[in-house]
Amino acid sequence: MKAVELEKAYNPKDFEDRIYQYWRDGGYFKPKSGNEKPFVIVMPPPNVTGILHMGHALNNQLQDTLIRYYRMNGRPTLWVPGTDHAGIATQNVVERQLAKKGLHRQTIGREAFIEETWKVKEHHHDIIVRQLEKIGCSCDWDRERFTMDEGLSRAVRESFVRLYEKGLIYRGNYLVNYCTHCGTALADDEVDYQLVEGRLYQVAYPFKDGSGEITVATTRPETMFGDVAVAVNPLDERYTALIGKELILPLTNKAIPIIADSYVDMEFGTGMVKITPAHDPNDWEVGKRHDLPTPNILNPDGTLNEEVPVAYRHMDVLTARKAVIADLTANGFLKGSSRHDHDVGHCYRCHTMIEPYVSEQWFVSMRSMADKALQAWKDEHISFYAKRWENTYSHWLENIRDWCISRQLWWGHRIPVWYCKDCGHMMVLRDDPTACTKCSSSNIEQESDVLDTWFSSWLWPFSTLGWPDDTEDLKTFFPTSTLVTGYDIIFFWVSRMIMAALEFLGEVPFKDIYITGLVRDKQGRKMSKSLGNGIDPLDVVDSYGADAMKFTLCYMAAQGQDILVDLESFKLGSRFANKIWNATRFLLMNLEGRNLVTVKQEDYSVFDRWMYHQANQAAAKVTAAIESYRFNDAAQAVYDLFWNDFCDWYVEAVKYMLNRSEDNEKDRIISVTLDLLAYQMKLLHPFLSFITEEIYQKLPNTEGSVIQASYPVWEHSLDSPNDLNKVSLLQDVVKSIRTVRAEMHIAPEKRIRVVLRPDRDFQEASFFFQQKDLIAYFIGASELVIDVSHESEVAKTLPVAGHGFESFVFVRQAIDVEREIEKLQTELHKNIQSLESVRKKLSNEQFLSNAKPEAIEKEHSKKSEFEEKIEKGQRHLKLLQAL
RNA sequence: GGGGGGUUAGCUCAGUGGGAGAGCUCCUGCCUUACAAGCAGGCUGUCGUGGGUUCAAAUCCCUCACCCCCCA
């Protein structure tokens, strides 16, 4: 057989794109048919106009790891990709583009605007797909969906109509969060609260009857034109007598009453609060309780409207605030002000300050659905990883509020409601009507608002599979298995999907929910555009390859923990991939002139059995880790196996043995080694997909592709603790001598003489004989004596204690006796202390009667171990003192 | 105000009841022809504080301190 040549350096660019194309062309991402339980993930759809950031990379790579693992495990495996139309965000993107051309959506009209948006969507969509391909996602592109495609739009309509018919959707005038920049209402959870520096103003409101004045405290004096009352706490004795009296609003002639409401905090400000129901959520509640009017003082663009005195009309809120303060001051109403920082809501898309704003909106009544979702959790139909997120989930559902689903946007699913302009009839329909269903007039008009984007995303786990039709995909792949997402959308998305699935299909949409950490920079800060501390996943792929990124992220993905990285962090994965590449390169070089043979297990060497044992153990660890979503443990297990066991010991031993063996033995060695290599390529594939495929296909002992190979599982026949013991012993011998060499500064090329003396009763003494030459090779010995009879002359050597053996190194250089004695004494002291604590435990009645038998057994073996070490230490000390 | 998380080696973090770990950094020596993206060896810890439970606590419970997040 000819040697297989690998490029000298690992260069992922040489093969990653090619391999991805190979997988796609081969249809490897499609679910195989079979009776096993399918493993299904729906990808959280990225915003179609966004760009993938490290969070997406982490998220999708963990999904890919799961998918590849279960695919190799033989389950029909489906990963559904797709994108989200992201109403507000996308509309903002398109509006910005129009603005550059001096255009505004109002000037080009709704239809043209939507047409333009589709074009932008197509363009961005292709970028996103390329990014997902670049990082190696093995999702089924033939099943890719978009939240606004035909099928999903039908699902949205169906769900809207069903909820409406059930009485769970209603329309009405309510106080909502309104973004004056985006020009739309937002749901409660779409508002981000940020601490804003502000002032608390003390404003005097005179009594109508001229009997003096009271003082209210407010952070928003400009909303005073919307005041309809001043409230005090009914328990506040200072003001009890004032309840019911009337006040005059400064700068206007409006009279408002003093009312009592327990909402008022007596400690805050003056204990008197102005009530502005149309512009404050708490005041809205107070207003409802007291049946107060709700004058709206704002236009949709955030300027003051006709409700306020002429002087302030058309001013924006902040300008009006300044003007009002100036006028209050000038007229003596302002009694003072103080620094007051408070949380102010901001739009989660454009970060504009939110205005609480009364308007007509559509809502979903959530209580009944939330209760079902809570019950599903209590019944353990869903599990969160890490578990603590279940608190977040249940707390939100317990305190759920109705969901405002109408948005004053153009890009999105238009609400399927039509109004007859002739008879006023309102129609909620699955299909577009041509005439009024009541009076047959064709003079009808569709509701102009669109639906919240989440109103389509919450259907994602089943709308992507064909719902509302009863498709084969839906029957086969729903409910899905696992959802992988970030904690920031547990409210927006996760809990709503669970509610929707329970509502429309009567089942939870997935069993497990893995919540990823946030990817942060090395200082622990969120990655953001404004800080400029973000890392582009494509830069990582460009610098180190997709495998390096994927492996590093898995390695760092400890459950429930955020991940702190910079570009350099990905060297971890890159170095590992390089190591794999080079180890393979070395082994393939050694194929020259070899014949591959089938080696029976009984022909394995102790090293072969040891290596299979370790690989077998690693397979068990990976299985357990992946199935409990402990990605870091899984990654560490394969890393340690390949690097610390395979490269550092097994391949090093192979090197030596290849050199001194006959052809038949060489064939045997290389055959077993390649088998172990192929085994590890399979084990590594979910973590380093490209390089393992590239190598697997180059190996002469494999067929097909690793992506569809069977994943290694723990097998009893490979379990070999005896060989683990033996090789560990050999490693102990080698390491202890290497330490001496390093500490004594013995030059690497310098051969040494060593006497290796097994303890008299030591079971594995014969193993030293068998491996004598290999040990000598590993420690650079010219002469290694296995001194079973304890008769070798060891005076003037450096003694080294081991567990079950001791070694004596002939050092030509002068031994620094003082230093060696000191080291031994320190060691001896430690061992004596350890022995003392073990003895204490073993003489403790409580310990002996309470501790587990294994724990007691352990202490006994520790005792003899320390005794052995102490005995050897004392003897070695004497030897050294005699020098 | 309510809830959650964190505090372990210089840095970033694993480790959930029985002898303190990894990666990176650092130090020493090596270009031993698979890999210097490497090899061999080494240093470093009152496991935040104080208490409790236990034969036994980094690990379970409580207190406090500091940091981070979410909700209101």
**Distance between the alpha carbon (CA) of A527 and the C1' atom of B65, Å:** 29
Asked if the Cβ of residue A827 lies within 7 A of any atom of strand B, the reply is no
> Which residue is nearest to the C1' sugar atom of B23, using CA?
A572
The one-letter amino acid code at A268 reads F
For residue A845, what are the CA distances in angstroms to A23, A552, A834, A839, A851?
65, 49, 19, 12, 10
Residues in a beta bridge with A206:
A213
pLDDT of residue A181: 82
Using alpha carbons, list the distances in angstroms from residue A160 to A156, A166, A658: 6, 10, 71
Place of tokens 């690992």: A10
The whole-number Å distance from A632's CA to B21's C1' is: 14
Q: Which nucleotide is nearest to A388 (CA to C1')?
A: B4
Buried b (16+ CB within 10 A) or exposed e, A438-460: eeeeeebeebebbbbbbbbbbbb
Provide the whole-model pTM: 0.88
Q: Say how far A268 CA is from B66 C1', in Å.
A: 29
Tell me the C-alpha distance between A112 and A450, whole Å.
Answer: 16
Q: Strands A39-42 and A77-80, how do they pair?
A: parallel
Distance A426 CA to B72 C1' (A): 37
Confidence (pLDDT) at A424: 83
Q: ∠A643-A676-A612 over CA atoms, to 5°? A: 85
Strand B lies under 7 A from the Cβ of residue A393: no
Say which nucleotide is closest to residue A12, CA to C1' distance. Answer: B37
Nucleotide nearest to A630 (CA to C1'): B14
Q: Which residue is nearest to nucleotide B39 (CA to C1')?
A: A648
> What six digits make up the tokens of A543?
């610098």
Cα A329–chain centre separation: 53
Tell whether omega for the bond before A468 is within 30 degrees of 0, i.e. cis.
Answer: yes
CA of A106 to C1' of B69 (A): 40
The DSSP call for residue A278 is G
Give the nucleotide at minimum CA-to-C1' distance from A520. B12
H or E element: which one contains A258?
Answer: strand A255-260
As a whole number of angstroms, the distance between CA A253 and CA A230 comes to 15
Name the protein residue, with chain letter, whose CA is nearest the C1' of B72.
Answer: A399
A3 is near strand B: CB distance < 7 Å: no
Q: Nucleotide B2: nearest residue by CA–C1'?
A: A395
Phi, psi of A407 (to 5 degrees): -130, 140
Any idea what DSSP says for residue A47? B
* Closest listed residue to residue A761, CA positions, set A875, A607, A877, A864: A864
* A636 CB contact with strand B at below 7 Å: yes
* Residue A743 approaches strand B within 7 Å at CB: yes
Residues of chain A with pLDDT under 50: none
DSSP state of A298: B
- The protein residue nearest nucleotide B17, judged by CA to C1', is A851
pLDDT at A646: 95
pLDDT of residue A758: 93
Residue A223, CB-side half-sphere exposure with 13 Å CA sphere: 26
User: How many Cα atoms occupy the beta-carbon half-sphere of A392 within 13 Å?
Assistant: 19
CA A17-A21-A26 angle, 5° bins: 150
Give the span between the Cα atoms of A235 and A724, in whole angstroms.
Answer: 77
C1’ B15 / CA A855, Å: 19
Distance A308 CA to B34 C1' (A): 81
Sorted by sequence, the CB contacts under 8 Å of residue A213 that are 6+ apart come out as: A204, A205, A206, A207
Asked if strand B comes closer than 7 Å to A268 Cβ, the answer is no
Q: CA(A281)–C1'(B28) in Å? A: 68
With a CB cutoff of 8 Å and minimum separation 6, the contacts of A268 are A217
Q: What is the pLDDT of residue A286?
A: 79
The reply to whether A522 has its C-beta less than 7 Å from any atom of strand B is yes
ipTM, interface predicted TM-score of the complex: 0.93
Residue A96 contacts strand B, CB under 7 A: no
- pLDDT score for A530: 66
- Whole-Å CA distances, A72 to A28, A466, A684, A874: 11, 26, 11, 56
Distance, CA of A760 to C1' of B17, in Å = 37
A564 touches strand B (CB under 7 A): yes
Q: Which nucleotides of B are covered by protein (CB under 7 A)?
A: 3-6, 11-15, 18-19, 22-24, 28-30, 32-35, 37-42, 54-56, 70-72
Distance A646 CA to B48 C1' (A): 40
Which pLDDT value is given to residue A494?
A: 92
Query: Tens digit of pLDDT for each residue in A643-665?
Result: 999 999 999 999 999 988 999 99
Token pair for residue A681? 């390529």
Per-residue burial over A487-522, b if 16 or more Cβ lie within 10 Å, else e, is bebbbbbbbbbbbbbbbbbeebbbebbbbbbbbbbe
Cβ proximity of A783 and A773 under 8 Å:
no
Residue A520 pLDDT: 80
Angle at A757 between CA A753 and CA A763, to 5 degrees: 140
pLDDT of residue A344: 78
Within 592-631 of chain A, which residues have Cβ less than 7 Å from strand B?
none
Give A832 CA → B56 C1' in Å.
20
Question: What's the rounded Cα separation, in Å, for the pair A779 and A758?
Answer: 17
Side chain identity at residue A515, one-letter code: I
Q: Give me the CA A639–C1' B7 separation in Å, rounded.
A: 28
What does the pLDDT read at residue A340? 74
3-state secondary structure A368-435: HHHHHHHHHHHCCCCEEECCCHHHHHHHHHHCCCCEECEECCCCCCECCEEEECCCCCEEECCCCCCC
- Give residue numbers, 140 to 199 of A, with CB < 7 Å from strand B: 188-189, 192-193
Q: H or E stretch including A105?
A: helix A105-108
Token pair recorded at residue A623: 């299985």
